Structure 1
Amino acid sequence: MSWHGADDPVPGNAFSCDAIRTLIVPRSRDLGSFAVRRALPSTECRMVGPFVFFDQMGPSEFVLGQGMDVRPHPHIGLSSVTYLFDGEIMHRDSLGTELPIRPGELNWMTAGRGITHSERTGSALRQTGSRLFGLQSWVALSARDEETAPAFEHYDAGALPIVSGEGKTVRLIAGDAYGARSPVRTSSPMVYADVTLQAGSVLPLDAEYDERAIYTVSGAIEIAGDGFGPGQLLVFRPGDRISVRATEDSRFMVLGGEPMDGPRHLWWNFVSSRPERIAQAKEDWRQGRFDTVPNDAEFIPLPEDPPPVRYP
């Protein structure tokens, strides 16, 4: 497999860290049984393409009897994307879906006009203890799709294309790259990929989209002579071609896309291009008008007043 452009000379400042617009070190938030690190939204960067939210879950270890318990809660205007490196989560939603997700698989839940779901550790794993390590992101829907019917799609690990060679392996979650195309249907042009590099390998990142970033998961990488460790979001300037070199065996996510078709507002679990739509969703959840999750009677009450975040 030949990686197009990996060793080509690159004009301008593509090999200068001037190509990195923003470096985000996610803040950690303790959810009781496990911790999350939130890279998006941040004060430095609100969105990368359609990605309006990006969380690292764990790595955490649950002792006997413990696990993840995210009670039923609502969403509108987004696709929730869950991808695991370790562990297992049982997904249930108001469409009647009840399905575990495991490492390398993909859960792509489109909220559209409204969906309710829960995420929990299954009863069998609670009897043995388990681990959890993965990512959850929200992808904002285009304005034309914000009120689409809710949907859920699960992709087995074998359904996502893999491009490998020369010490590089790219599992393409969404979009197309390196001659491969993901089967995942998206609301707008975007790319999302899971990359592993052996020490010394180099991955080129072309400037296909104006908004691009990588999130470092493990190992150590180098860009234009500067090194970066795990748990950092590197947001690149538009137009620059990047080369990422692994100084040790490494893993990172590539994410990006075109700028959204207008501003986005976020309040709690709701994303919309229209603030009045978020106000309606708040009242709908308060009044119990969202569909419920079968066999899961609990729910997260509407917060009193979480700070709204506007996405320019």
Structure 2
Amino acid sequence: MHSPEFPNIILFAIPFFVLSMLVELYVTVKEGINTYEKKDAISSITMGLGNVFLGYFSKAVVLFSFLLIYENFRLFTIPVTWWSFILIFFADDIAYYWFHRISHECRLFWASHVVHHSSQHYNLSTALRQTWSGGFYTFIFWLWLPLIGFHPAMIMLQMSISLLYQFWIHTETIDKMPKWFEAVFNTPSHHRVHHGKNPIYLDRNHAGILIIWDKFFGTFQPELKDEKVIYGLVKNINTYNPIKIAFIEWINMFKDVFSGKKSINSRLLYFIKPPGWKHDGSGKISDDLRKEWLDSVNRNQPSVYSKK
């Protein structure tokens, strides 16, 4: 069978990334928008370069896994043609939604994804702040695609297209897109919400390209004019050291798993439960923080905030 070959579009996009960041920097300085901080931007770019380098190894693992399933266990054979690219667009996007959502709801996946949320600034360099570890195991959310018959080369191309799309939404220079676009696609406004540590914004808008999944599965939250997004983590790590950024949550997770006196079941739950969970009940997860915040708002006035 002929194996299709597609270029590594991420590498070709690097000059576009650089140019876009320079343009954004110029615009933000001109308009007095304080979105860039030198050390933070350098950390983000360093994380991105590390991700590209490690990608040569992680992508080998991913491709091997996809090929193994496709060549030995696929249920159907989906041809590489125009209509199959439409199908994989939607299939990849819903796979991304669940990968992204679970990465916020399960600490094992949060340990790698937290890297992307560790900046307290929001600009195009933040889009480059990518994991150094996630590429080696988060691909499991896409294993069903070669199983149903999509060729691995198609899958990896669409994954790259999704990643490229998400670059431009990491900016404060764009307020709102047209209403029809905001209704269907992920936008800077939707994704600013996702990066917010405000209780109302926590674990919302997990979309890759299409925001429709969040609306369908109940995780959508619009950006509110009277609730300015505060970027970063509930407990910020306060470091510009790329090594610490890449692995600090792994260290903290394993400390929680292996330290102290607790049952084996409790130790295992530290891998599975959401960030903030504690076996003794002393921790607070995103839902707890959101409920507390909404209750405080509702004590004196009817809430204008969604409880979804």
User: TM-score range with shorter-chain normalisation?
Assistant: under 0.3
TM-score after normalising by structure 2: 0.27
Q: Which has the higher strand share?
A: 1
Q: Which has the higher helix share?
A: 2
